[in-house]
Structure formats: C-alpha cells, structure tokens
Chains A and B, each alone.
Chain A
Amino acid sequence: MTEPPQPRPAPPEPDPPGPGARRAAAPPVTVAVAAARPGGSDDQAGLLARLRAGDQRAFAELVDTWSPVMLRVAMLHVSSRASAEEVVQETWLAVVRQLDRFEGRSSLRTWAFRILENLARTRGRREARTLPWSSAFPGDGEGDGGGPTVDPARFRGAGDRWPRHWTDAGAPVAWEPPPEDAAVAAEVRRELRAALDELPPRQRAVVELRDVLGLSSDEVCARLALTPGNQRILLHRGRARLRARLEGLYRGRTEGDGGG
C-alpha cells in the first residue's frame, strides 16, 4: 500500500468528542483515551512510540476506544452495519501497515480518521449506485412514502364528535414495566437494535447520530448535508417507527401474559 489517500478538500472533523465518545471511552482512562481528546498531543507522541515499539496492549486499547466511533462515522457513508465493520477493519489494517511511515505531522487520530473517511466515502459512492441513500427528498421517500407515522385506523373519523382523536382501542397504553426496568431492558435493547438496522439508511443515520450517539441537530445536519427541516423529518419518521416497534413488543408481552 502507498501513503494513505489524502482527504478531499476539507473533510469535516470526523469525530466529535460528543457524549457517545465519552461513553465509548468510559472504562480505561489511559494513553489511548487521552490521545483521543483534543490537546492530548503529548500523550499522542507517547502512544505512537508505544505502538512502534510493538506494545500490543496499547494497540488493543486504541482499537477498542476508537472503533465504536469509527463504526458510526462509517455508517454515515455506507448502507449497512456489515459494510461499516468492513470499512473500519480496512482502516485498522491500513493503520497497522503504514504505522512506520506515519510522519506525525497530524495527530495519529486525525490520520486514522482521514483514512476511515476516505475508505467509507469510496465505498458509499459505490453502494449509492444501487441503494437509495442518495435519492432525492420526496417527503423522505425512503420506502414509506411520507405518509402518517401512526396507523390512521387508531383515530376517529371525520364524522365523529371528536374527529382525529384517538379511538378507545387505538389510544396508546402505558408501557409496564418501563423500558429501563431490568425486567425488560435487554429485550428492549435487542428490539431497538434490530429495528434500527431495518430503518431506511437516512433515517437510521439520523437516529443513530442524534439519539444513540447524542450529537446535536446542527452537527447531524453538517455531517449528512441535511437542512434542519429534513433532518427533523428523518428523525421524526425514524423515531416513530422505533416507538411503534417497542409498542408492538409491549403488546406482545401483554398478550403473552394472557391479556393482563
């Protein structure tokens, strides 16, 4: 392999030190984590020296700390989790192979994330030919046609005394126990993970970045080149689908209990 591909004009700072990064980096506050922070350049040099000296623990720590963020960044460009994993894997392979040639003009982190962005973009462009990511924005168009997010049958008709209000059967029922309760938390996580992976890519990307990673709407708009309005539409439709999935989960539980 040659020098890592240089970034196109001015790539956005690939990885915000947002809440997700904080969460991902929670347990071991050591060299790799310090280097992941802005201003950690002294440790950065130490980290590079350790890697070049073959310190496998330092490398493992780096992989564990940066990979979660890398996966999310990759998912901005590619269409599936599997694709994102491959992009991150390729990135680490490039880092390992080119480590000795890395001149340290940028931080190790900036360098690694540039490689990632380039690989992810290239792959994303290839996938865009067959996937709807780059499609225009008719309502949001991603397979649900921009229609209502809640089944219209759950609301009263125009001739009713209270048109467009919930019917008795359609009204949402409180979730018991709540999703954070230990009795259901694991089931809720599984359901959400599966539901997220099934969302149309743009909805998934927005929900992942906003609600899972905790980025601000401004950051997400910048990342995905979305207007604030379109970002909200995608967030709205994605969240509505996920809420509906959890509702289905709770309904199934209740029926499983014999209607109680």
Chain B
Amino acid sequence: MGEPRRVDGSGGDAVLEVACQEFVELVTEHLEGALPPAVERAVVAHLALCDPCVEYLAQVRATTAALAQLPPPTLPEPVRDQLLGLFGRLHPPSPGP
C-alpha cells in the first residue's frame, strides 16, 4: 500500500484536499451523489491516489451488496401454522361461493 500523496492544485479553481479520515465520513454522500462538486472532485482525486481508501469504499459496497442478498424476513413457522389453523376453522372449505 503506497504512501498517500499530496494533491497539488493544478486545475485553476480552489482545490480541496481530503484525507483518509475525512474520506471515511464522506463515503456515503459520495455513493449517494450528494457531495458538492468541489468536495466530490477532492474525493475522486483522493481515491485516485489512495489504495486503502479504495479498499474501504469496496468494503462499503460489498456490505451493501451483501445486505441486498439477505433473505426477506418471514413469520416464524409456529405463527404461520397458527394463522392457517385459524383460517381453516373460520373459513372451512365450501363447494361454491
């Protein structure tokens, strides 16, 4: 993992710097596309130079991807059985409407 390097102002406009400790608090807004443009540029510039922060971002993404794979919550089996039982008692099968 290389040493993080300083970002030199070269674009003409004011250049912000983001250090790793700031990046980890900006990561969600970065993913949400909610950062002001100047800060977003600084984040992108930081990521271009910082492998550990790229890894951190990858881990946040991996976490959300894993969350999306969680099985949907279900009712406990005994509760489901109880509901079906009650339904059967209150609405016995009938031949027609």
Chain A residues within 8 Å of B, Cβ to Cβ: 20, 23-24, 49, 51-56, 59-60, 63-64, 67-69, 71-72, 81, 84-85, 88-89, 92-93, 96-97, 99, 148-150, 152, 155, 162-166, 168, 171-175, 178-180, 185, 188-189, 192-193, 196, 207, 211-212, 214, 217, 228, 232, 235-236, 239-240, 242-243, 246-247
Contacts of B59 in A (CB 8 A): 172, 175, 243, 246-247
Chain B residues within 8 Å of A, Cβ to Cβ: 1, 3-4, 19-22, 24-25, 27-29, 32, 34, 50, 52-53, 55-56, 58-60, 62-76, 79-80, 82-84, 86-88, 90-94, 96-97
Q: In terms of DSSP, what is the predominant structure of the interface of chain A?
A: helix
Contacts of A188 in B (CB 8 A): 66
The CA-CA distance from A24 to B84 in the complex, in Å, is 19
Given contacts A49-B97, A162-B4, contact A212 B75 (CB under 8 A): no
The CA-CA distance from A127 to B75 in the complex, in Å, is 21
B32 CB to nearest A CB, Å: 6
Given contacts A166-B20, A179-B66, contact A52 B72 (CB under 8 A): no
Residue of B whose beta carbon sits closest to that of A171: B52
A174 engages B69 (CB within 8 Å): no
A169 CB to nearest B CB, Å: 11
A93 engages B83 (CB within 8 Å): yes
B2 CB to nearest A CB, Å: 11
